[in-house]
Structure 1
Amino acid sequence: ADRSNSPESQLVSVIVSRRENPVIRRGNEILQFDDNVDTLFFPEMTIERNLTDRNVLILSWTVGVTIQINFIQITSPTTTLVLNVAASVAGIYRGRTYGLLGTYDGQASNDLRAQNGQIINADSSLEQIHRQFGVTWSIDPITSLFHYETDQSAIFFHEKNQLFTPSFIEPSNSQAEDASIRHACNIDPSSLPASWNIAQRTCYYDISVTKDESFGQTSLNAGNEMLSIKADQRNPPLFDITLPVYKEAKKGDKIQLKIVASSEYPSSVIQLSAIHLPRDAKFNVQTGMFEWTAIEGTEHVRIRAFDMTYNLTATHEIVFEVGRTNYSPTQFEVKILLFFTAFLFAFLSK
């Protein structure tokens, strides 16, 4: 879940039910996609199904946070639906992240920062990294945002975390298994593990442990995408942070907003387009000027910024809540009102 600055933002959760079905919640509402709908729009975010792979879900918040979730069915030791989650943030968060994913500042040396601020040496053993770094970021029962079944709780999983001791020994495979896993993970048969990239290492480990090639290859694809983003330094366009996500107005108000987006990369070319406009509104894609005479009710504008250089997209939505204009009587109505007031006063004075 992302803490958005929209007054209408709500907690979002994606879970796997006990019947092995994905369940998406926003607040207390369970969300579902209609057959011909692939995107759900909300004031602070969108939830999209991948057009080519319906098992991929993309959650994008207007504040510059994107989470991609792959629903994967593993078959060993039992058939289970699991979530493969990848997160990315806009460039404005550089140096402002912390946690298991490290600090987004381009310095690998401080990524293993424990919750108390202590930086763990990257050359430490796996067991040391687990105990001194990983365990410190286990879910706090008091602040947990996860959704739990009726007979479970944050405390239940917190206690499980404390009791769990992972294996710190690299999985061993037979020669035939090693060759098969290398093939599935696009690893050169003669290469040494030290030369593998993070995507290949993750894939190899996942298949070694689960014996499920589809699970490992999903990790490989996700890892390769992250490597590609890192190599190309690709972040989506960023809209002006002063743009509102919610705005109140009166019927008849003339609303003008300059909607612009930029990229942190000098070579990027940003193209603006309107996904949705209120009735009779205008948006100039060249200047970014949005103009609209407010109509009573709830309306929204949604603008897309497309980075033509790196094929990246960002969107920004503003919800307008338009109320009635305060009633102002005409000059004739004022005269009539004064006449009847004077008449009533004279009548009561008799």
Structure 2
Amino acid sequence: MRFAMGIQFWIGSKHATVFTAIVSAERNRVPIQINLVGTSGLQLHVNGTDINMAVFRDSEYELEVDDSAVVSGPEQNTLLVVFFNGITAKITADKAMLFVQFSAPPEYMNRTQGLLGRWDGDKSNDFEAFDGTMLSANASERQLYEIFGQSWQVTEEDGPKKSLFYYANGVGPKNFTLASYEPAFTDEIVFASAELEQQARTVCGEDKTCLFDISHTGDVQVGEVSLAALQTFEDEVSGRESFPPAISGPVALYLSPGEVVEIELNATDPQDLPITFEIGPDVPPDVVLITNGNYAKVTWNVTDKTVFNLQVTAINSRNSSTEYRPVLYLCSCMHGGRCNASNDLDPSLVGYDDRFVIQTCLCEEGYTGEHCESDIDACAENFDPCFPGVICTDLPPPAGLEDGYTCGDCPLGYEGNGTSCQDIDECELEEATLCQHICVNYVGNFTCGCNEGFKVAEDGHSCIDLDECALPNNCSQLCENTNGSYTCGCFAGFKFDQDGQCQPEKSCTDEDNPECDLTTSWCTMNDTGHAQCICFNGFEVVENGTMCQDKDECTTGTHHCDQVCTNTPGAYTCHCLDGYMMADDPLHGCEDVDECSDWLHDCEGNEVCVNEPGGYSCVCAPGTNRHQGFCIPDIDDCGSAPCAHGVCTDGPTNYTCTCSLGWEGHNCDTKMSADDNSVVVEVDMDVAEFTEEREALLKAAVASGLTNFCMKHLREYRACEAPPPSGWLRIRRETTAAAIGPSDIHVQVVVPHAPTADHHTALRIYARYPGPDDVLILHGDVLRLVITHIKMEIEMLLGNSHVVSISIFQADAYGTRSPTQQQDHLSTVGPAVYKDDALSFKEMIAALSVVACVVIAVVVLIIYKK
């Protein structure tokens, strides 16, 4: 990997040079180049292409380059290039020059060449020229420049020194080379004036680099910037060389609730610096740290399953630190359950941020849940194993999944064990002898039927004759009912044909036919020899005596249909509505279809089918409630007393808490604050008119109004209920209203941020009620309601001043809440960086100042791997 730096004359100088560009590239990767723009700007080029620098205004933005590096802008006028091989370069623009810091991981020791020397712990081999010539550390600055420095100048020719820089068309390294240039050396520091020298020595002291920079640029600020960069670098190196202490303790801890754990820790510092210990910020209060020099003991009473990272930090006097974070394996199995350690990750595989592991449980028979906390609902787990319509009852432990339930009795008309039920054939039983003619079995019951020509009597089992003549039949003219049957007859002048139908004895000829419609009537000759039309059954003659029209039995009501009648030519047909079917006995018409018994329903889960006339409904089985379309077991959500300071009301799938005075939140576990429950009363009066006497009258009026309101509306407003004395059981006490006195009312004059009308005064009011253990705040909605109710009384007490508005107090609108102080914590993690073994940074800067050339680019560092 190669780095090269570009330099040019300092503004107005012919000797002083500064860094203005840097380029770097790994082998077979695109070059990354950064140029100085103006006095403090930067421009990034990737493979010769300009990058829009606006993206780096976001300090979190990262630009990935060719799978080899990431470029970011962590600070203003700064770019950080982090190569995937661990090498970093930080480039900062200031005072029309670039400041560059390099860092590399330890694996690159003894693998560097170039102007920064060989990083191997040996001072004698740092000044090695490109051709291998080795200069001693005591060589003169001129020798360093001519033999060492110029040997690393970039060229246009292919090879290890070929320029990596991006040039415009027709331009190359030769255009930026001045062969006649000879730099000034640090032993030739000459100031333009005694005044400049005095200023320089005040800033630099005896620092040669700082003095040299000021003498050649004439700018004291250049020396200040150079000195600051040097100090920053030395501080970073000092910090990196300050190795943190080592801390030893158990890698993993295996815990159980109720156990008191003691952890002994021992810390050592490689430089024998004093060590202090700190407990982590997320550690609960029942974790106690006791220290004694380099030893510490952590005591923890494990009371619950709160997840946290146990962290103890050992810090030496140079502020280098090491964290101890053991893996905590908590076994919290209940009801005799055992922890399954075979599922635990090895401590070395547990992530750094989540080192609290709740072990999985092997539950005893009859229990389930993450901690074996729940009784197995064998009915639900076995998908309601009982016969449809049979209640499934879950059994308590140790009954398990397979035997943890019982089924009730089979439905009426069935027999079996409740899990499997079979239809009883009642026709094989003695009760079927009640049927006079026929027994008909069906699922769940039976019914009686009759032989043809008979129908079931009202008693349900006897059979009586069916009057077929009252129903549609196949008689074409006359019908005579008989016991169990019927006979057909014909009118006078008619006789039966071979099909049993009546036909005229004397039919009309075509000449005699008075236009009878033979599709609806007969034409016959009467005794006087005249032709006449006789209508078929179901038809009737019209006025002219020759035409027959259909009788609409459905309209006239002469039909025998139970529900739906459909007229047909000469007859009618009967139908049933949905949910009904035609009975075998026509006179009984339509019978209800029992969808539940005939399995024509779609009830499922914990639903029970209930037959209804013409349909059915699915209702929840006993012990279940419908929620979002499903019947789920009814669980007493209030059984665990979730409402800390209120009354719990159980619901189908959840619970609601009605909070007592001074408490709010879903579980009534959040104490009401004065900020959130104050009322602002804006009054048309000058603040000077709000005297102590009027304040006392206002407090008394509000206290009286609240007490009276709460006595009248105790059942409607839970906030009016006085808290019970300490230690009382809520279910055993009589509810009383809160009695609030003037001393419980607090009034404060507040000034709104938004401008208000002249002579308006804003009064912030809230009520505090002394509870058994602490002072509680009355709910703001109740307070506003009461103040609104006694508004006229308040106006009179305040000298007949008009109350302009009554509203809930908003803290940010009045600025009464103090701003929260925040503290930023900054930590930096990166590869280890080692100070150069041969020369200090100060010495190297001086050396580079000597060997600096006017050429736009010089090779600064070549890194290679074996």
TM-score of the superposed pair, with normalisation by structure 2: 0.24
Partner of 1:101: 116
Match of 1:178 in 2: 197
Alignment-derived partner of residue 54 in structure 2: 33
- State the secondary structure of the residue aligned to 1:64: coil
CA distance in 2, matches of 1:46, 1:179: 45
Match of 1:13 in 2: 33
Relative distance call for 1:19 and 1:58 in structure 2 (3 A) is closer
AA aligned opposite 1:49? G
Matching of residues 1-350 of structure 1 within 5 Å: 1-4=23-26, 9-16=29-36, 22-31=42-51, 32-34=53-55, 35-42=57-64, 43-51=67-75, 54-73=76-95, 81-142=96-157, 143-150=162-169, 152-157=171-176, 159-160=177-178, 162-168=179-185, 169-173=187-191, 174-185=193-204, 187=205, 193=206, 200-234=207-241, 269=322, 285-286=351-352, 311-314=828-831
CA distance in 2, matches of 1:18, 1:153: 22
Name the CA distance, whole Å, in 2 between partners of 1:44 and 1:235: 30
Residues in 2 aligned to 1:3 and 1:270: alpha-carbon distance in whole angstroms: 37
The question of whether the paired residues in 2 share the 8 Å contact of 1:67 and 1:86 is answered with yes
What one-letter code is carried by the residue in structure 1 that aligns with 2:830? T
Distance 2:172 2:235 in 1: 38
* Secondary structure of the corresponding residue to residue 45 of structure 2: strand
For 2:232, what is the secondary structure of its paired residue? Answer: helix
Between Structure 1 and Structure 2, the one with more helix by share is 1
1:19, 1:172 → 2: CA distance?
Answer: 25
Question: 1:15 and 1:213, CA in 2 relative to 1: closer, same or farther beyond 3 A?
Answer: same
Q: Is the 8 A contact 2:25 2:32 kept in 1?
A: no
Report percent identity of matched pairs: 23
Three-state SS of the structure 2 residue aligned to 1:205 is helix
What is the CA distance between 1:38 and its match in structure 2? Answer: 4.5
Question: Which shows bigger deviation, 83-92 or 146-155?
Answer: 146-155
Change (3 A) 1:118 1:16: same
Paired amino acid for 2:63: F
Whether the aligned pair in 2 keeps the contact of 1:72 and 1:82 (CA below 8 Å) is yes
**Structure 1 counterpart SS, 2:94:** strand
How far the C-alpha of 1:223 sits from its partner, in A, is 1.9
Aligned twin of 1:321: none
Q: Report the CA distance shift for 1:26/1:128 in structure 2 as closer, same or farther (over 3 A).
A: same
| 1:108-164: CA deviation from partner (whole Å, max 9, x where unpaired) | 22111111112112222211111111111111222100122445311223x42x332
Q: Which runs of 5+ in 1 are unaligned?
A: 74-80, 188-192, 194-199, 237-264, 272-282, 289-309, 316-350
Q: Assess, with a 3 A threshold, how the Cα gap between structure 1 residues 138 and 268 changes in structure 2: closer, same or farther.
A: farther
**1:95–1:66 CA distance, 2 compared to 1 (3 A):** same
Contact map agreement 1:15 1:147 (CA 8 A) in 2: no
The Cα offsets for residues 7-52 of structure 1, whole Å up to 9 and x where unpaired, read as 8x4211111358995320112432223343543231322222233x
* Aligned length, in residue pairs: 233
Q: Which runs of 5+ in 2 are unaligned?
A: 1-22, 244-269, 272-319, 325-348, 355-826, 833-866
Change (3 A) 1:154 1:116: same
Query: Partners in 1 of 2:196 and 2:153 — Cα distance?
Result: 33
> CA shift at 1:96, angstroms?
0.6
Cα 1:182/1:151, change in 2 over 3 Å:
farther
Structure 1 pair 112/232, CA: closer, same or farther in 2 (3 Å)? farther
- How far off its partner does 1:92 sit? 1.1
RMSD, matched Cα? 3.7
Cα gap change, 1:3 to 1:153, in 2 (>3 Å):
closer
SS at match of 1:33: helix
Q: Distance in 1 between matches of 2:231 and 2:84?
A: 25
Partner of 1:329: none
Q: Distance in 2 between the 1:121 and 1:57 partners? A: 35
Q: Contact (CA 8 Å) 1:4, 1:63: kept in 2 or not?
A: no
- Alpha-carbon distance, 1:83 to partner: 2.0
Alpha-carbon deviation of 1:101? 0.5
Q: Which has the larger radius of gyration?
A: 2
